[in-house]
Each structure stands twice: as C-alpha cells, then as structure tokens.
C-alpha cells in the first residue's frame, strides 16, 4: 500500500493489494473515529487535522482489527415510473419483468458516493443488464429518487439535478437531506431494491430511508 500526503491534513492511500477502499476505511475508523474517510473505487482519501500523524495503514492490517458490519438498506422502487425502462428493455433484448427481476434480485454494494451529495454508485449489475451507456446528452433535470443504470452500475438521484443515467424506476424515499445532515447510505453498505406498485409509491412518498 502507498500512502501519500495530499495536504497538511489529508492523505491518499492507493495500491490496496486487493482490499476494497471501503473495507480499509472501516478498519481505520475503529481506531480513528474522529477522522473522515472518502472511499473511491481504487483509492481511499483520509482527512484529519494538521497535527495528526500519517495514518498507520499497515498497523491497522497487522493488528487484525475487525471492521464494522456493513449496513443493509432495502429501497422500494416503482419501476413503472422509469422514463427509460421500455427503451432499456429493447436495447438489452429482455422483457420488462426480467429487467425488474434482475435489478431487484440481489444485494448490491455501494462502492462510492459522489457527483452530488449522497449519490451512491452501486454495483455491479448482472451481465444481462450491462452495456447501456449514459445518455448522449444529460437531461436538464432528473427528479430526486430516480433510479438509473449506466454500463455496469446503478445509482439513485438524491435530489433534483441534471443527469445522464438511464432511468428505470423511482423510489419514494428520501435517501439524503443535505440541510439536515441526513446521509444514511455509506460506501460499503449493501442495497437491495424492492419492486412496489404506484399505489405503494404514493403511500411511502416523502418517508426517510
């Protein structure tokens, strides 16, 4: 592993020898709960204070610290509200029912958060759902709660914003409230999508994850 200082109070860890960045973050967080961690796909950002020494990454591994168990989130999705659902089934050559079955039929892992506060990058999609690129031109506005897919990933828009993912459904739940510091999803968490009807959607709309 390679630890490089990014600033007076932050470090970047790379070459993780097969360990997922969110797993290393969980190990280090046990002894350093005051630090902040930014897991990405292949690197881990660590943010402390000016007086903190360089993180003892190797020490965390050799002492065999036990990481915290990942949280598991069940997120209801109304697939009938997916603006690109029909087009995606045509591109993939599968039925709507099969797409829903595949997308909701397994636990996924949150690998990183970014793009906008609380946006989870979730993977990886089953092979039968992969290969659809982002839209050639992003939509000017994607509503909060929309669930999208792109290439081998899926994600959820936590708030209204422009976006270019293929929208296959919508969750009625609030998955992020930046103003109130509500960020229930973290890198390393597990996510399973639960199909719901439009009536169930309206009954749950606005509730928090």
The pLDDT assigned to 58 comes to 59
- Between β-strands 108-113 and 153-156, what pairing exists: parallel, antiparallel or unpaired? unpaired
Domain assignments of the chain as residue spans, ordered by start: 2-62, 72-204
Q: Which pTM value belongs to this model?
A: 0.84
The pLDDT assigned to 176 comes to 95
DSSP 78: B
The pLDDT assigned to 66 comes to 57
The pLDDT assigned to 41 comes to 84
The pLDDT assigned to 134 comes to 95
pLDDT in tens, the chain (209 residues): 788 888 888 888 888 777 888 888 888 887 788 888 888 888 888 888 777 777 766 555 555 555 567 899 999 999 999 999 999 999 999 999 999 999 999 999 999 998 899 999 999 999 999 999 999 999 999 999 999 999 999 999 999 999 999 999 999 999 999 999 999 999 889 999 999 999 999 999 999 99
Burial class (CB in 10 A: 0-12, 13-18, 19+), 161: middle
Domain 72-204 grouped into CATH 2.30.29.30: no
Match domain 2-62 to its CATH number in 3.40.718.10, 3.30.230.10, 3.30.1360.40, 1.10.3720.10: 3.30.1360.40
By C-alpha distance, which of 143, 141, 209, 142 is closest to 176?
Answer: 209
Q: Establish whether domains 2-62 and 72-204 are of one fold.
A: no
């Amino acid at each position: 592993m390679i630890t490089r200082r990014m600033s007076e109070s932050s470090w970047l860890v790379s070459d993780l020898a097969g360990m997922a960045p969110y797993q290393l973050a969980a190990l280090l967080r046990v002894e350093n709960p005051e630090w902040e961690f930014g897991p990405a796909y292949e690197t881990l950002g660590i943010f402390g204070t000016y007086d903190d020494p360089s993180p003892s990454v190797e020490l965390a591994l050799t002492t065999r610290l036990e990481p915290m168990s990942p949280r598991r989130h069940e997120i209801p999705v109304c697939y009938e509200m997916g603006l690109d659902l029909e087009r995606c089934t045509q591109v993939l050559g599968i039925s709507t029912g099969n797409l829903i079955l595949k997308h909701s039929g397994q636990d996924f892992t949150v690998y990183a958060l970014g793009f906008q506060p609380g946006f989870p990058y979730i993977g990886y999609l089953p092979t039968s759902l992969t290969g659809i690129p982002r839209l050639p031109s992003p939509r000017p506005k994607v509503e909060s709660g929309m669930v999208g897919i792109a290439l081998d990933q899926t994600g959820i828009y936590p708030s209204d914003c422009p976006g270019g993912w293929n929208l296959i459904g919508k969750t009625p739940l609030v998955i992020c409230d930046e103003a109130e510091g509500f960020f229930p999803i973290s890198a390393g968490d597990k996510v399973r999508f639960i199909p719901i009807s439009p009536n169930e959607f309206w009954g749950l709309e606005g509730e928090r994850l």
